[in-house]
Chains A and B, each alone.
Chain A
Amino acid sequence: MKKHVVGAICALLAALLFMGTASAQAPAKKPKATAKAASAPVVVAEEKDAATLEFEKFRAEMEDSNPAELFEMKGEEQWKEKRGPKNVSLAESCDLGKGVGQVEGAYVIHPRYYADADAVMDLERRVVWCMVEKQGFSFAEIAKKPFADSNFTPDITNLVTYIATHSKNMKLAVPLDDPKVRDAFETGKAMAAYRAGPYDFSCNTCHSGDGKRIRMQQLPNISVPQGAIKGVQGWPGYRMTGGVMLTHQWRMNDCFRQQRFPPPKYASDAVADLLTYMIGTANGLEYKGPGIKR
């Protein structure tokens, strides 16, 4: 399988390189035409979008051999194994809204409200809660290094990947009729509109319009279902840049970095509320399981 992955990555790099060359040459063809208004840039934009299409194709080809599988397998072991100071497995203690130990379809019903924690929780937050409350792990220790880098993948990332795999091709079903969840949705929506910081950015500065980009990066419009699903799809995801497995919590964290805000605390209400808004907006649309990101 590894060979397959390497081969496919090489093919993608070659394709991107080709697209890059094609685009770089495009403006050079038109220097004399510039006086005739701005027709050239439109052509260029389309060519770059072809690079995006090429990546989509690659992603589809990779579907049967997503490196995320390695993390999923590790996550399955960690779900079933007796671990932590209390020597208990999550499989025998953790309720993800489908009954203790059940993972089938659990990812797509989050965020949801848990009376035992008196909080609305996205899936990652819930698993952290179980690790702390049921297995006795220290929250402070988990929160110290919650996201993967090239040398390290936290257990929580493996677990989330494992659980997410068991919601593949299921429809998102955030229980928005629960008043607590609805409350989180509306709070998340208000947070997304909040402009502050040195650049006056809010989430909505980049994510409330259709067809917007930063450089060549397409920006999902999280205010509508078809855009919001793009912000949900592919997380947790294997990111080829750096070769790391990253969760939806990580994605939210990095958005705030680019917004020039300080980071939200790990597994906090802040992230749960924002995820409730985004995933809730995509409700009813199909989640395709752990993905691959550039």
Chain B
Amino acid sequence: MTKKILLAAMATPLLMAALPVAAEGNYRAKAVEIFKKDFQSRGQASIDRLAEDGLQAVCNQSGNNPPEYIAKRMEADQLAGIKYPADGKLMGDWKEGEKLAQSGRGFTWTDDPGLPVGGNCYNCHQISPKETSYGTIGPSLYQFGKLRGNTPEMQQYAFNKIFNSKMYNACSEMPRFGHVGALKPEQIKHLVALLLDPESPVNK
């Protein structure tokens, strides 16, 4: 983990130098200054959250559209940090996955940091047809496995995407649930089952 952060930190200045200077550059600097000056820690949400990591900085400076060779490099960096469940199985219990998908708890200044963090999935995605209260920021995942099958490759793709969406799309809107420690590999495999298990309501 530490090594990875170091690597990202070392790579960042090089990446930055390669980015075109945006016309709104001055206002970005001003915005960064205001985030430093005008925010205060509260609960678990401390002000160090306002500092960009290397990937966030590149995405922010390029309008979420870095040149392809930089994007590829960042995606490879993100892939390097992935962790799989100890038993090597990527498909768990879809019922556990559904519970995780429902919960939007975690990481806000009003959340108890001692409680488990939810997957937040329904906030942005349609998933099981039984849940009609779903968001539309992300694509619909209804019939995800039915349309794609559940081959080992597909299991790995789904696992990776949830663990760290940025390894397929450097500036994806989706959080990096495994990368930031919100979800453990043992939890992510339940979400993989929700998407891919033929018995999951998603694929019925």
Contact = CB atoms under 8 A, between A and B. Distances in A.
Q: Tell me whether A and B are bound partners.
A: yes
Given A213-B135, A215-B122, A189 B180 contact: no
A170 interface: no
Interface residues of A, number: 56
B69 interface: no
B136 to A, nearest CB: 5
Interface in B45-62: 45-47, 49-52, 55-56, 59-60
A197 interface: yes
B204 interface: yes
A260 B107 contact: yes
Contacts of B45: 197, 257, 260-263
A47 B132 CA distance: 10
A98 to B, nearest CB: 27
A31 interface: yes
Given A265-B39, A273-B34, A214 B49 contact: no
Interface of A: 23-24, 26-27, 30-31, 34, 37-38, 40-41, 44-45, 47-48, 183, 186-187, 189-191, 193-202, 205-206, 209, 211-217, 219, 256-258, 260-265, 268-271, 273
A213 B109 contact: no
A212 B124 CA distance: 9
B112 interface: no
A216 B143 CA distance: 21
Nearest to B29: A190
Given A34-B143, A191-B31, A194-B35, A262 B107 contact: no
Nearest to A201: B175
Interface residues of B, number: 53
B175 A199 contact: yes
B129 interface: yes
A108 B183 CA distance: 45
Chain B interface SS verdict (over half): loop
Contacts of A258: 108
A41 B180 contact: no
B41 to A, nearest CB: 5
Contacts of A34: 129, 143, 204
Contact of B126 (A41, A195, A260, A273): A41
B148 interface: no
A47 B199 CA distance: 27
Interface of B: 24, 27-28, 30-32, 34-35, 37-42, 45-47, 49-52, 55-56, 59-60, 63-64, 107-110, 122-124, 126, 129-130, 132-137, 140, 142-143, 166, 173, 175-176, 180, 182, 204
B34 A269 contact: yes
Given A195-B59, A200-B56, A200-B173, 4 more contacts: A24-B132, A41-B140, A212-B135, A257-B45
A205 B59 CA distance: 12
6 contacts: A196-B56, A197-B45, A198-B180, A257-B108, A264-B38, A264-B39
A239 B133 CA distance: 21
B110 to A, nearest CB: 6
Contacts of A202: 60
Contacts of B32: 194
A187 B30 contact: yes
B109 A263 contact: yes
A24 B132 CA distance: 7
A206 B173 CA distance: 9
Contacts of B49: 196-198, 260-262
Contacts of A264: 38-40
B132 A268 contact: no
Contacts of B34: 187, 191, 269-270, 273
A216 B38 contact: no
Nearest to A271: B38
A190 B126 contact: no
Given A195-B56, A212-B135, A263-B45, A189 B27 contact: yes
